[in-house]
Amino acid sequence: MAGMRLDGRVAVVTGGAQGIGRACCEELAREGARVAMLDRNAEAGEAAGRALQEQKLDVLFLQADVTREEDVAAAFARVEKRWGAAEILVNNAGGNTYYDPVRMSGADWDAALGLNLKSAWLCARAALPGMTGRGAGAIVNVSSLHARMTARGMFPYAAAKAGLIGLTRSLALEYGPAGVRVNAVLPGWTRTPPVEAWLGRNGHPEQEERRLAAVHPLGRIAEAREVARVVVFLASDDAAAITGAEIVADCGLSAKYAGQEE
């Protein structure tokens, strides 16, 4: 289709089976990309892949645990065999963590940082040779507003997401001369399955959402597709002059003083 910004480009999205990841797969494919959806949840990934394929979108689901080096290597090898080397990488895989800093074990720490930070490095390491060989590429890391501010009870999520910002800057500096751009998106509250589960935890999801929406300057939380469209922009040539940047997509929440009354 004429006018598609990513026509024919090969994209890999981690944690693509639901939420922001799935929205990224859909929006990238709608812009003409051939998208490999990576997720460790086979059932959810296969269902999401089928649903997008039924929309005539070029999406391939690959089961992979992106915290495991061998899974990452195998997934990228399959992508390259099918379509060629990845030109776009969206490091979206991650998950909230809830640990007491003293009682948390070393194994817990390794698992939390493995999912939220190390996985992004492993996938970047797999994608960069192909990008540098071509002299072009785009990596978008999905961080979080927790990289800048956080809340009690979510240790060490903020540490991992802040680390992802550092990784973004470092890779942007290292690989900018080779034509590879690396940027980060920082979503705030976004309508995803985990957030919807949180809103319904007390049996009053509509009431909880109204309360949450009221603290946002735009009067609502973000939709997953809205975050995904920021990702598409950063992956496209429209963002050719942008690298090492952090783009916040939080409906204005971080622009507001804590406790400010409307």
Condensed to tens digits (0 to 9), the pLDDT of residues 239-249 reads 999 999 999 99
On whether residue 81 sits in a domain, the answer given is yes
Out of 99, 157, 175, 257, the active site residue is 157
Q: What pTM does this model have? A: 0.95
On whether residue 212 sits in a domain, the answer given is no
On whether residue 29 sits in a domain, the answer given is yes
Q: pLDDT (tens digit, 9 = 90+) per residue, 36-49?
A: 999 999 999 999 99
On whether residue 70 sits in a domain, the answer given is yes
On whether residue 16 sits in a domain, the answer given is yes
Domain count, the chain: 1
Q: pLDDT (tens digit, 9 = 90+) per residue, 144-173?
A: 999 999 999 999 999 999 999 999 999 999
For 253, phi and psi rounded to 5 degrees? -60, -40
On whether residue 230 sits in a domain, the answer given is yes
Return the pLDDT at 10: 98
Report the Cα–Cα distance between both ends of the chain, in Å, rounded: 46
Return the pLDDT at 261: 57
Q: Which domain holds residue 73?
A: 10-187+223-247
In order of 13, 21, 94, the CA distances from 157 in angstroms are: 21, 18, 9
Helix and strand element counts for the chain (H, E): 9, 9
Residue 78 pLDDT > 90, yes or no?
yes
Residue 258 pLDDT > 90, yes or no?
no
- Mean of pLDDT values over 91-120: 96
Return the pLDDT at 260: 59
The count of other CB atoms within 10 Å of the CB of residue 217 is: 14
On whether residue 112 sits in a domain, the answer given is yes
- Mean of pLDDT values over 181-209: 92
Residues composing the chain: 262
- Calculate the CA dihedral of residues 122, 64, 35, 84 and round it to 10 degrees: 60
- Mean of pLDDT values over 40-68: 97
Mean pLDDT computed over every residue of the chain: 95
Residue 262 pLDDT > 70, yes or no?
no
AA letter at 257: Y
On whether residue 203 sits in a domain, the answer given is no
- Mean of pLDDT values over 180-207: 92
CATH of the domain at 144: 3.40.50.720
Specify whether 98 is catalytic: no
Which position has the token pair 């800057």?
Answer: 169
In three-state secondary structure terms, 184 is: strand
